[in-house]
Every structure is written in C-alpha cells, then in structure tokens.
Amino acid sequence: MIQYIKNRVSPLSLSIRDWYTGRLPVATIRNHLQKKTVPRHRHTVWYYLGGLTVFFFVVQLLTGVLLMIYYKPTIEGAHQSVVYIINEVPFGWLIRSIHSWAANLMIATLLLHMITVFYLQAYRPPRELMWMSGFILLFLILGFGFTGYLLPWDDVAFYATQIGTEVPKSIPVIGPTIVTLLRGGEDIGEATIPRMYTLHVFVLPFATFLLIGIHLFLNQYYGSSKPAGTPTKGKSIPFYPNFVLRDIRAWGIAFILLLCVAILMPWGLGQEADILRPAPEGVKPEWYFIPMYQTLNILPSHIWIFDGETVLNTMMMLGGLIVFLLPFLDRKAKHEERNLFIVSAGTVLILYCIVITLLSGPLPGEDPAVQETKIEFPSFEYRINLLMYFITPLIILIFFIVLKIRQLEFHKGQNYYE
C-alpha cells in the first residue's frame, strides 16, 4: 500500500515542482542562498536575534488576525469584546496571551539585536543602511506596543496611554498636532480607539513589512558582518540549508518558551476604563517605555528657563538622531577600531535604561489593576496538559532538525558547531 501511494504521489509532486520551477526563479534563489555563508566565531550565536525578532513578528501577525475577528474598536465594545475572547471563544485566552507575550519578546529580542550590533560594530561600512533601517524598525515595533496597549480599554491602558500621549505635547511646533492626531481630539475618547486600531493593524504592519523587506535584502546583499577584531573559527557556515536549519531550531525553542509563558502565565485584563474614575495607584506604561517615563519624573518641571518635558523631548530627538547617524559618526569603525567614547556613552545609556526599568517596573503581565476584571482561565492542571500537548511535537521536531544539521555538516567533513 505504501509503495502504491509513493508511485502515485511521486509523479504528481514532480509535475508540480516542474510547473513552478519553470515559472519562478527558484533555482537562482537557491543557488544564491547556497553560496552565501555565515562567519563562524565566538559571537555567532548573536546572529539568531534578528531571525527571532522576525519570528515573533510573524506570530504577532497570525494571532492578531485571529483577534481581529472578534475585536470591536469602539469604546462600548472594546473591553467587552476582549472579555468575550477570553471567556467564550475557544482558546481565545491562549491566542490573546500568545499575542501579548510575543509582543514583549519581539521588542526584547529587537533591543538585544540592536545592542549586539552596536557592540560588534556591525554598522560599519558598507552596512550603514542596515543600521539605519533597523533603527527605524525599532521605532515601528515600539509603535506597535504603544498603539496596541490601549485596545483592551482597561483602566491601566487608558491612563498609561493618557500619560504617553501627553509626552509629545511639549515638542516645539509640532507637539500639539501630534497629540491631536493620536487622540482624535483634546482628550482620549471615542475617536482614539479607531485611530490606534488603524495604526496598529494597517499603517504600522505595512510600513514594517516594507522595512523588513529592505533590511533582509541588504542582509542578503552584504552578508553577515564579522565582528571587528574577532578571529573566525575554521570555515564559514553555509547559509542554506545549514544556517537556515539552525534558525528554525532557534524558532522552535523560542516558540516553546512563548507557549510556556503564555499558557502558565496567561495575560490578564484590567477593569473597564472609566474616564470619571480616578487613576489606579501605580499606573505606569509598559516596561519598554519606563526609562523615558521615569526620566520625565526625575527631571524638575523647569530647567533654567525651559520646560522640563521640552528639554527631555529635545534630548531624545537629538539622541535618536545621533544613534541613527552612528555609522557616520564612528569614524574608527571602518578601520575595525573601537571608539572608546562611543562605547562608553552607549554602555552608560544601556545600563541606565536597564537599572531604571528593573527598579521601576512593572514587569510584563504584572500591572497593578490587571486582576480586577472577572475572566475565566482554565485550571492549572488543564493548562499543564495543554502545554505538554503542544511542546511534545515541537521537541521531537527540534530533535530531528538537530540530527539533520549534524548529518549535513559531518557529511561535508566539517563540524560547524560553536
């Protein structure tokens, strides 16, 4: 029977392959990917961060589309539709939890990716455009977090968004216009949710797709950068299929981690927002906006003759411009030399952001008002069984991928393992 099926399926599969290879440049793409290599050195592991960011972005898209089916972007329907997704839609609580946790992991991997690129000086010529496109992508991804935070329309999201949209008001000339565009008026209200929703599901995804395409094209064109002053270990790793399989292995491990946190620590929901009710105690924005928020609280309301918020916004705009133009400012990078001032300044900024975030919180999923809405998650025992049901085939898949990697690399007579 098995041989009969093979005899029937093989000619069909060959016919399909002949059809699309005759119409698409499959062989050209495959040959290009097979010729590309990835440098092997002690920092090779950091190359996975870019792929992990894209993986979490794809998870965001898929789960976001499912959530769009039931979500209602109105003041009257936003919160109730999220409650309905969690309590009534089969596995709705899981889809929303995966979506929320994947957003945080996507931002975390992207920030780590930018930090490692900074320290490895991977922005040096001719990869300036890769750094600049990645920097714009960082702002787009943070835009996803900002616009999506309000959509559940709970107390914490409402007041955190109110604080967040106040910040641009002090930007000279264009500040008030930005606030009005975001809110749809002077205050957060009926027009705000549709605007945030449109930005979140249409404008930002389109811009992000475009920038990711440019970034990946540049990566394929220039190849992976070897860190300045770092010796390689033997021959480089073939990108296809060797490194692609390694990327898939990393995605599988990341998906297991995502399922663990999403199932064991499902994302909660705060009480429905009420404009007339006082703000809950300890309301703060998400962790990735904490450094800016806490810095604003630390600064005095007036610095000499200038408004404190205006000073902070001006500093952030100048700082962002400096980071954006870093490949052109670091003249030593093209000679594979370290600029001690730039490295020191970047390290101080990174440590400041980490310390102030850890001291201020809240951590993802730990907002103070998140337990006030009555939502029904499955029992812990059920969630454990569900987790095992999902991760068991993933572990088996990863095992076979590892075997395939070893088979490919030892068959070539080389061991590319770090």
Confidence of residue 284 (pLDDT cuts 50, 70, 90): confident
Confidence of residue 227 (pLDDT cuts 50, 70, 90): confident
Q: What gap in Å lies between CA 371 and CA 269, rounded to an integer?
A: 7
Amino acid at 364: P
Out of 52-61, 99-108, 366-375, pick the least confident: 366-375
Confidence of residue 372 (pLDDT cuts 50, 70, 90): low
Predicted confidence (pLDDT) per residue in 9-56, tens digit: 556 666 777 777 777 777 777 777 778 888 888 888 999 999 999 999
The region, left, alpha or beta by phi > 0 then psi within -120 to 50, assigned to residue 36 is beta
Tokens representing 177 are 């216009």
Confidence of residue 371 (pLDDT cuts 50, 70, 90): very low
Average pLDDT of span 300-325: 85
Three-class SS string for 202-236?
Answer: HHHHHHHHHHHHHHHHHHHHHCCCCCCCCCCCCCC
Element (H, E) at 174: none
Q: What gap in Å lies between CA 156 and CA 162, rounded to an integer?
A: 10
Residue 94: is its pLDDT beyond 90? yes
280: cis peptide before it, omega within 30°? no
pLDDT at 3: 57
pLDDT at 409: 73
Do 46 and 124 form a contact (C-beta atoms < 8 A)?
A: no
Out of 180-194, 224-238, 310-324, pick the least confident: 224-238
Tokens representing 108 are 């975390």
pLDDT at 11: 64
Tokens representing 84 are 């309905």
Give 405's contacts (C-beta < 8 A, 6+ positions apart). 242, 245, 246, 249
Residue 241: is its pLDDT beyond 60? yes
Element (H, E) at 237: strand 237-238
Token match 């999403």: residue?
A: 262
Phi, psi of 307 (to 5 degrees): -70, 140
CATH topology of domain 37-411: Cytochrome Bc1 Complex; Chain C (1.20.810)
Q: What gap in Å lies between CA 150 and CA 144, rounded to an integer?
A: 11
Residue 157: is its pLDDT beyond 70? yes
**Exposed/middle/buried for residue 382 (C-beta within 10 Å: 0-12, 13-18, 19+):** exposed
Q: What gap in Å lies between CA 47 and CA 225, rounded to an integer?
A: 9
pLDDT at 233: 77
pLDDT at 273: 86
Confidence of residue 150 (pLDDT cuts 50, 70, 90): very high
pLDDT at 369: 46
Residue 294: is its pLDDT beyond 50? yes
pLDDT at 249: 95
Mean pLDDT of the chain: 86
Confidence of residue 417 (pLDDT cuts 50, 70, 90): very low
Residue 381: is its pLDDT beyond 90? yes
Residue 272: is its pLDDT beyond 60? yes
Do 199 and 143 form a contact (C-beta atoms < 8 A)?
A: yes
Out of 224-228, 292-296, 357-361, 414-418, pick the least confident: 414-418
Do 110 and 137 form a contact (C-beta atoms < 8 A)?
A: yes
Instruction: Find residue 90's DSSP bridge partners.
Output: none
Do 275 and 336 form a contact (C-beta atoms < 8 A)?
A: no
Residue 115: is its pLDDT beyond 70? yes
Residue 218: is its pLDDT beyond 60? yes
pLDDT at 4: 53
Which carries the bigger pLDDT value, residue 3 or residue 198? 198
Do 373 and 269 form a contact (C-beta atoms < 8 A)?
A: yes
Q: What gap in Å lies between CA 108 and CA 370, rounded to an integer?
A: 22
Residue 366: is its pLDDT beyond 60? no
